[in-house]
Amino acid sequence: MENARETIERGRAVLGIEFGSTRIKAVLIDEEHRPIASGAHDWENQLADGIWTYSLDMIWTGLRECYTKLAADVKMQYGVTLTKLSAIGFSGMMHGYMPFDASGELLVPFRTWRNTITGEAAAALTKEFSFNIPQRWSIAHLYQAILNGEEHVEKIAYFTTLAGYIHWKLTGEKVLGVGEASGMFPIDAKTKNYNEKMIAQFDALPAVQKYPWKLEAILPKVLCAGEGAGVLTEEGAKLLDESGSLCAGIPLCPPEGDAGTGMAATNSVAVRTGNVSAGTSVFAMVVIEEDLKAVHEELDLVTTPAGDTVAMVHCNNCTSDLNAWVGLFREFAETFGMTADMDSLFGTLYHKALEGEKDCGGLLAYNYFSGEPVMGVNEGRPLFVRKPDAHFTLANFMRTHLYASLSTLKIGCDILFKEEHVKVDTIYGHGGLFKTKGVGQSILAAAMDAPVAVMETAGEGGPWGMALLASYMVRKDAGETLERYLSDKVFGGDGGSVIEPDAADVRGFDAYIERYKKALAAEKAAVETMPL
């Protein structure tokens, strides 16, 4: 406690803040990279005019509330007012679309990664580049706006992601970390910058040529982990800290995406390491040794925060439907006058799932709150179905929804591991799905048929990973790589708690997935017959 107080008073602490889908969270770390204070603000995206979005007011109110709670936590624990920091880093949900005009005004409401409205553009660019461009990528959103003939496009002076927007307003710098930038536009692994050939191809498209801008001029500048990305301005300090206590001049590291912070938080930036982040959405990241043999629409190629190539399987839906069912069970308990602590409820129901049959006994669930491009579904309708002779037990029901949370991820990863024969030594799990010890971890091991490790810090997740990237910028030795910094100075050889895949679980999940694929028409029919 005394050491933490001294670290804060001397301005040696480092702050990481991440904008997740349902929570904005801040984590303050000491010089040993240990979390010493935190703050959070819950928020939820809105479906406005058919677009998943967060308003600018929600963004800034949420950020200030999150920081205020962090500062209050520091004051309560250590009796210190937070005024100085060694470094700050911001991260957020990757991809999406935030276009601005020359005066810095947002031209259309923020279009998040969750939108599946760019199918035409994504397909056209994938064909043009011979490189998979998913619907959620920023360049797909831009090109779809062009194809739609949207009036705002000719006024664009700059476009960026959520993390890039926050960083710009706090520092004045229009930059992105390379990992986050790789979700806007393809990156050249050799130059660790945007792919120049593909930029030229985009600018040459007939639909693009009529506009006054060139693509490279409106994209953020790309920076790698460890590079300086500006400092907190006086205006930025006021935006972040309403109390006025926080000083300007604090260095900021390149803003990153939640995929990059997940890699940092799980020490999986080296070749043949991988991680799975499981929360509102779920994605797997595997650092690959060589290029993939084919273009797969289910697989993205992005980068680590240091610029190394990563194969990514991203699925829009993970725990939202599962959480909704647990909420229903809480309502049931409260109806009978029972106090239902959510942590206990999640833990009890998750452990119950382990008692279920390996193939879920004939039950089936689709957890699609929104569209799922991996499965060719553009809208979502959560769906639970069972055969008349199915074994409808609580254990099978919970196991089914845990399987559903990872089913689309498994389908994508089967391509990566079984078709492309990508090798991975260990997969690190982090995010809300892994909070109940051993349950989500064993289900993921069955889905991946690979060892899954979870570290004690897994619950800290993205904001802690962002703080590590900020710390790396100010504390690395000359020539020290991010991989070495994390391995030696942060994790010190800690490999976490590892669960090996159980052969019977693997066979059960495989059997479930075969039913899942065959019955996908039922999910598509639900979308068609239940319009929003």
pLDDT of residue 333: 95
pLDDT of residue 31: 96
Q: Homologous superfamily of 95-160+185-218 in CATH? A: ATPase, nucleotide binding domain (3.30.420.40)
Q: Render pLDDT for 259-269 as a digit per residue (tens, 0 to 9).
A: 899 899 889 99
The pLDDT confidence band at residue 199, using thresholds 50, 70 and 90, is: very high
User: What is the per-residue burial (b if ≥16 Cβ within 10 Å, else e) of 391-415?
Assistant: eebebbbbbbbbbbbbbbbbbbbbb
Q: Are strands 187-188 and 193-194 parallel, antiparallel or unpaired?
A: antiparallel
pLDDT of residue 489: 94
- Mean pLDDT value across the chain: 94
Whole-number Å distance between alpha carbons of 71 and 242:
11
Across 27-41, 144-158, 360-374, 423-437, least confident range: 423-437
Unique residue bearing structure tokens 């078709």: 419
Q: Which of 65, 55, 127, 63 is closest to 91 using CA atoms?
A: 63
Whole-number Å distance between alpha carbons of 219 and 240:
25
pTM across the whole model: 0.84
pLDDT of residue 492: 86
The pLDDT confidence band at residue 382, using thresholds 50, 70 and 90, is: very high
pLDDT of residue 278: 87
Unique residue bearing structure tokens 């190539």: 309
Q: Render pLDDT for 480-521 as a digit per residue (tens, 0 to 9).
A: 999 999 999 999 877 788 999 999 999 999 999 999 999 999
pLDDT of residue 433: 87
Q: Is 95-160+185-218's fold the same as 265-317+415-499's?
A: yes
Ramachandran quadrant class, 427 (left: phi over 0; alpha: psi -120 to 50; beta: rest): beta
Torsion angle defined by CA atoms of residues 424, 435, 437 and 284, in that order, rounded to the nearest 10 degrees: -10
How large is the average pLDDT for residues 4-15? 96
pLDDT of residue 459: 58
Q: Which tokens is 230 given?
A: 């500006």
- Residue spans of the domains in the chain: they are 95-160+185-218, 265-317+415-499, 320-411+502-529
Q: Render pLDDT for 327-358 as a digit per residue (tens, 0 to 9).
A: 999 999 999 999 888 999 999 999 999 999 99
pLDDT of residue 460: 63
Residue of higher predicted confidence among 475 and 494: 475
Q: Render pLDDT for 97-129 as a digit per residue (tens, 0 to 9).
A: 999 999 999 999 999 998 989 999 999 999 999
| Contact predicate 441/499, CB 8 Å | yes
pLDDT of residue 458: 55
Whole-number Å distance between alpha carbons of 492 and 375:
40
pLDDT of residue 430: 81
Burial of 502 (0-12, 13-18, 19+ CB in 10 A): middle
Q: Calculate what percentage of the chain has a pLDDT beyond 90.
A: 85
The pLDDT confidence band at residue 457, using thresholds 50, 70 and 90, is: low
Q: Name the 3-class secondary structure at 393.
A: coil
How large is the average pLDDT for residues 279-295? 89
Q: Which tokens is 313 given?
A: 């399987």
| Contact predicate 469/89, CB 8 Å | yes
| Contact predicate 49/40, CB 8 Å | no
Across 57-66, 144-153, 268-277, least confident range: 268-277
Measure Cα distances from 372 to 112, 136, 467 in Å.
14, 11, 31
In this structure, whether the domain defined by 265-317+415-499 belongs to CATH 3.30.390.50 is answered with no
